[in-house]
Structure 1
Amino acid sequence: MKETVMYSKVTTITNPSGLHARPAAVFVKAASDFASKVTLRKNEDGAPERDAKSILMVMGMGLGVGSEVEISAEGTDEQEAVDALVALIESGCGE
């Protein structure tokens, strides 16, 4: 069995209103399309990782425009998941 190593990238929230309900829902749906475990963490000391497939967890993070976040994934499609989610954040989540 192949051992997986977590893959992650840091990006910045670009939506003028942050990751509020609609873009958070788009992000969570996209994260849920991947088999890997996906987490989201505000890129600051002591910030906990949150389940990126949970709308309540993502919205509870209070991510505003300019917030730097780390997206991590662990599993069979981890690199694809992280790269796609970073691209989604950087595109403004469709807004």
Structure 2
Amino acid sequence: MIERTATIASTVGLHARPAAIFAEAAGDLPLEVTIARAGEPAEDALDAASILALMGLGAAHGDVVVLRAAGDGAEAALETLARILETNHDA
């Protein structure tokens, strides 16, 4: 299992447009990716491809989240997803 942390850069947090962009990218991957707030147990992680799960996460600007995936290409996939989270999509 590969893990990557990311800090939410969008000023509105992981809500609406940023969540939709992220969920679409996660859904296009051939891997199952999970997301959780930093410090939460891995078993409480949510499906990163679900916009409803992302919005329910309640991640605000500046919050740190943990992305997890396993399998071929997991490291590159998480790096791509982390860049999306670390971009301010509200600018």
TM-score (norm 2): 0.89
Larger Rg: 1
Q: Which of residues 56, 77, 80 is equivalent to 2:76?
A: 80
1:26 aligns with 2:21: yes
RMSD over aligned Cα, in angstroms?
Answer: 1.6
Q: Distance in 2 between matches of 1:92 and 1:78?
A: 24
Question: By how many angstroms is 1:23 displaced?
Answer: 0.6
1:42-81 counterparts in 2 under 5 A?
42-46=37-41, 48-81=44-77
Unaligned runs of 5+ in 2: none
Q: Report the TM-score, using the length of structure 1 for normalisation.
A: 0.85
Q: Tell me which of 33, 41, 58 is aligned to 1:38.
A: 33
Write out the 4+ residue segments of structure 1 that deviate beyond 2 Å after TM superposition: 44-47, 92-95
The percent of aligned pairs where both chains have the same amino acid is 37
CA change 1:7–1:15 in 2 (3 A) is same
The structure richer in helix per residue is 2
User: Which runs of 5 or more structure 1 residues have no equivalent in the other structure?
Assistant: 1-5
